[in-house]
Amino acid sequence: MKTTVINQALMKEKNQRLVAYTLWRNSPISRTGLAKKTGLNKATITNIIADLTEGGMVKCCGSLQGNVGRAQNLIMFNEEYGMCGSIIIRPNTIFLAVGNLRAKILWSQELHFSVSELPTEVIKRTAECLDGGIKSCKSKSGRLIGIGVGTASLLRHDDDMLYAIHSIDWHNISVLDYLRHYFNVPILADTVSNCSAIGERYFGIAEDVSDMIYLSVGYGIGAGIVVNGKQCRGSEGFAGDVGHMVIDPNGPQCPCGKKGCWEVMASSIAAEESFKSLAEKAESGDPAAISMLNKIGCNLGIGISNLINVLNPQLVVLGGEVVHAGKWVMNPCRSTVQERAWPWVVEHTRIDFSGVTGEYAASVVGTMTKVIEYFLD
């Protein structure tokens, strides 16, 4: 008898999570629509909705008049039920944000730090600043449900250590433990590229795509790889470090010590100048800037050709600072892929800029989405 009661309680909790997640993905929706999407009967849906409404997670939002019969009441996930934090760690810059449960940003701030600062001091300052942002948003949203962290570093998933950010000499930094003790909420971390891929799949141009590569191109190149709808992380969590794929053995030396790495030839490292600055010069007709961006675009195309020959994705998304470069990079990139990649693969692969606007937007939205999914799972 006791086992039966426990099983019933577990089934009820499982069904509640299913309904809450389905609402989060499909609001607003009718009870009939929910029943179709979840496979639960209408009586179960009605009971769950009553419980979730009483708890504040769900709310009514009008009605829908069909062709026949009476209007159906619509319900939706309450995006103000809670809030989540986001920390994006880049070389010399940390971007902080607080959002609601639709990953809508309510507060944000950029912190700058120098290579001379101790990592522990930088993380302490980061936590204090984010805490202030969370407190300022409490009147707009409910309790903090968790914080997502996106990092330019390789991330070891067995111990949550930031393995290395070479450009600022951070190695084996235990950021997540500090944040867990400070905030006492779940802290979920991944690379910026993996987080951006999640953001693109939920809120960008990859919503219906099961196989994709998100390339974060700025000061370096990283990839978020999705195969059959699942993130590819590798045995140690280091998958996606494509910036150190060699595209020219006789090329320039990379900060990692090797020659001809992709990111030293196809990111802003190659130009020793930001993409935004180069694009402004190109728009004003500067031939040197146009030439540099075209060269970077061609080199991007070489690496992308290699990746799509191996992974056969439906979509390759270019995100990060490179979006500022627009046609000056995209046109030569696509032309190079057409020339170098396997024709049957190219025919079914689209290459485009991120659909989530803002340099940090895809990664911020992605970190928040990880937290929301964890909360609803």
pLDDT at residue 64, as a whole number: 65
**Nearest-angstrom CA–CA distance, 321 and 76:** 35
CA atoms within 13 A on the CB side of 24: 25
pLDDT at residue 317, as a whole number: 96
DSSP 177-199: HHHHHHH-S-EEEEEHHHHHHHH
Q: How many CB atoms lie within 10 A of CB 332?
A: 19
pTM for this entry: 0.87
pLDDT at residue 3, as a whole number: 61
Looking at the DSSP bridge assignments, the partners of residue 98 are: 85, 107
**What's the full length of the chain, in residues?**
377
Q: CATH says 2-77 is which class? A: mainly alpha
* Nearest-10 Cα torsion for 327, 221, 312, 340: 60
**Tokens of residue 324, six digits:** 């500022």
pLDDT at residue 316, as a whole number: 97
- Provide the CATH topology of domain 82-195+361-376: Nucleotidyltransferase; domain 5 (3.30.420)
First to last CA, the chain: 27
pLDDT at residue 271, as a whole number: 86
Tokens 């600043």 sit on residue: 129
At 238, is the secondary structure helix, strand, or coil?
coil
At 170, is the secondary structure helix, strand, or coil?
strand
Residues of the chain with CATH 1.10.10.10: 2-77
**Nearest-angstrom CA–CA distance, 95 and 195:** 14
**Nearest-angstrom CA–CA distance, 157 and 170:** 17
pLDDT at residue 90, as a whole number: 82
Q: How far, rounded to the nearest angstrom, does the alpha carbon of residue 138 sit from its chain's CA centroid?
A: 24
Q: Which segments within 39-127 are labelled E, that is strand?
A: 58-64, 72-77, 82-90, 93-100, 105-112
pLDDT at residue 262, as a whole number: 96
**Tokens of residue 339, six digits:** 């020339």
Q: Does domain 208-353 have CATH number 2.40.50.100?
A: no
Environment class of 41 (CB within 10 Å of its CB; exposed 0-12, middle 13-18, buried 19+)? exposed
Q: For the chain, 377 residues long, give each residue's pLDDT as a single digit of tens.
A: 556 656 778 888 899 999 999 999 998 898 889 999 999 998 999 999 999 999 999 998 877 665 555 667 899 999 999 999 999 988 788 999 999 999 999 999 999 988 788 888 888 999 999 999 999 998 777 899 999 999 876 655 555 555 555 555 666 667 788 899 999 999 998 888 999 999 999 888 998 899 999 999 988 899 999 999 998 888 777 788 899 999 999 999 988 889 999 999 999 998 888 999 999 999 999 999 999 999 999 999 999 999 999 999 999 999 989 999 999 999 999 999 999 999 988 889 999 999 887 778 899 999 999 999 999 98
Q: Are 305 and 316 in contact (CB under 8 A)?
A: no
* Neighbouring residues of 29: CB distance < 8 A, sequence distance ≥ 6: 22, 23, 37, 74, 75, 76
Environment class of 347 (CB within 10 Å of its CB; exposed 0-12, middle 13-18, buried 19+)? exposed
Residues of the chain with CATH 3.30.420.40: 82-195+361-376, 208-353
* Neighbouring residues of 285: CB distance < 8 A, sequence distance ≥ 6: none
User: Angle at the Cα of 259 (from 256 to 262), degrees rounded to 5?
Assistant: 80
Secondary structure tally for the chain: helices H, strands E = 13, 16
